[in-house]
């Protein structure tokens, strides 16, 4: 009797059942396609702590518990005199078991000075975007990674703007224009040397960058007694991300900045 009744569903009930089934399949596919991404940003001041000691193992010890998929690092030396000719990008990658990519700003003390991005995710593109020169040359280091089971492209761009407000504004506008060509989610992460009310951040907001609020204390500099928020994570487009967590990490000695961690779901 039950079998016969199942075969004789009314057209209305049959359509409702079909809609429910389709919604279930769609929801399942969406949940399957999303990826979770953990990104850290840290101005490490070439490993020089506030105790005057250069210690990359200590920097790695700060970063390791964060379990980040991608890390942007500002103020990195490669082959300079002041850091004993060490390739700091490669060394930190080795210590953390991650791929290391270096973006040079300029020659310095017989080597190079710039930024690095570390990744444990597959990387499909790396570009060191030259920005307008200020007192020192600057770049934005873009690493495009593949996130989640579908391998969705996401660009993480390390940033260290410098020095005057005019220079920082020109650098931010130039990088934003470059990244207008990206048709996938983009994250800016690093040291903006600008605060929330500054025209640099106002300009970025006007260009659709979403500045993520931090959970808890937001100040990032100086590390031993933070009083200024100058390190940020920014997202574009905002609707591609769900923010799970974003916070500063309390670390008063290893560098003059504190690190940031953000946990995101990518849609």
* Confidence class for position 16, pLDDT limits 50, 70, 90: low
Q: What is the pLDDT of residues 204-248, one digit of tens each?
A: 999 999 999 999 999 999 999 999 999 999 999 999 999 999 999
Mean pLDDT, residues 8-27 taken together:
45
CATH code of the domain covering residue 82: 3.60.10.10
26 lies in the same domain as 41: no
11 and 113 fall within a common domain? no
By residue range, what is the domain housing residue 16?
A: 1-33
Q: For residue range 153-205, what is the model confidence (pLDDT) as tens digits?
A: 999 999 999 999 999 999 999 999 999 999 999 999 999 999 999 999 999 99
Sign of CA dihedral 107, 113, 117, 122: positive
Q: Where are the alpha helices (H) located in the chain, listed in sequence order?
A: 2-7, 11-33, 56-63, 88-96, 165-179, 199-206
* Domain tally, the chain: 2
pLDDT value for 121: 98
Shared domain check, 113 and 18? no
What's the whole-number average pLDDT of the chain? Answer: 91
Q: Is the pLDDT of residue 45 over 60?
A: yes
pLDDT tens for residues 84-117? 999 999 999 999 999 999 999 999 999 999 999 9
List the Cα angle 73/75/78 in 5-degree steps.
95
- 222 preceded by a cis bond (ω within 30 of 0): yes
Same domain flag for 22 and 42? no
Residues 260, 139: one domain? yes
Q: What local confidence, expressed as pLDDT, does residue 4 receive?
A: 34
pLDDT of residue 76 exceeding 50: yes
The pTM score is 0.88
The better pLDDT of the pair 218, 22 is held by 218
Query: Residue 87 — φ and ψ, nearest 5°?
Result: -85, 95
Domain match, 41 and 28 both: no
Q: Are residues 17 and 87 in the same domain?
A: no
Residues near 226 by beta carbon (within 8 Å), at least 6 away in sequence: 217, 219, 220, 248, 258
- The pLDDT value recorded for residue 134 is 87
Same domain, 120 and 64: yes
Please check whether residues 77 and 170 belong to one and the same domain: yes
- In this structure, are 12 and 99 located in the same domain? no
CA distance 146 to 127: 15
Same-domain pairing of 109 and 15: no
Over residues 61-77, mean pLDDT = 98
Whether residue 112 sits in one domain with residue 3:
no
- Specify the pLDDT at position 12: 52
């Amino acid at each position: 009797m039950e079998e016969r009744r199942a075969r004789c569903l009314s057209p209305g009930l049959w359509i409702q059942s079909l809609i429910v089934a389709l919604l279930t399949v769609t929801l399942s596919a969406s949940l399957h396609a999303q990826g979770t991404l953990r990104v850290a940003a840290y101005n490490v001041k070439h490993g020089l702590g506030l105790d005057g000691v250069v210690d990359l193992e200590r920097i790695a010890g700060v970063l390791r518990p964060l379990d980040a998929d991608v890390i942007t690092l500002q103020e990195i030396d490669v082959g300079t005199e002041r850091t004993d000719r060490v390739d700091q990008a490669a060394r930190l990658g080795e210590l953390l078991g991650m791929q290391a990519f270096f973006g040079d700003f300029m020659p310095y003390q017989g080597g190079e000075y710039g930024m690095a991005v570390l990744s444990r995710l597959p990387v499909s593109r790396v570009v060191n975007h030259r920005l307008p020169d200020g007192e020192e040359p600057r770049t934005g280091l873009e690493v495009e990674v593949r996130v989640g089971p579908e391998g969705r492209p996401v660009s993480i761009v390390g940033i260290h703007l410098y020095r005057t407000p005019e220079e920082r504004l020109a650098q931010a506008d130039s990088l934003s224009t470059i990244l207008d060509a990206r048709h996938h989610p983009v994250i800016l992460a690093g040291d903006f040397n600008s605060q929330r009310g500054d025209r640099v951040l106002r300009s970025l907001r006007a260009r659709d960058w979403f500045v993520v609020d931090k959970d808890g204390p937001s100040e990032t500099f100086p590390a031993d007694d933070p009083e200024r928020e100058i390190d940020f994570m920014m997202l574009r487009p905002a609707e591609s991300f769900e923010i799970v967590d974003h916070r500063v990490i309390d670390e008063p000695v290893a560098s003059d900045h504190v690190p940031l961690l953000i946990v995101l779901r990518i849609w």
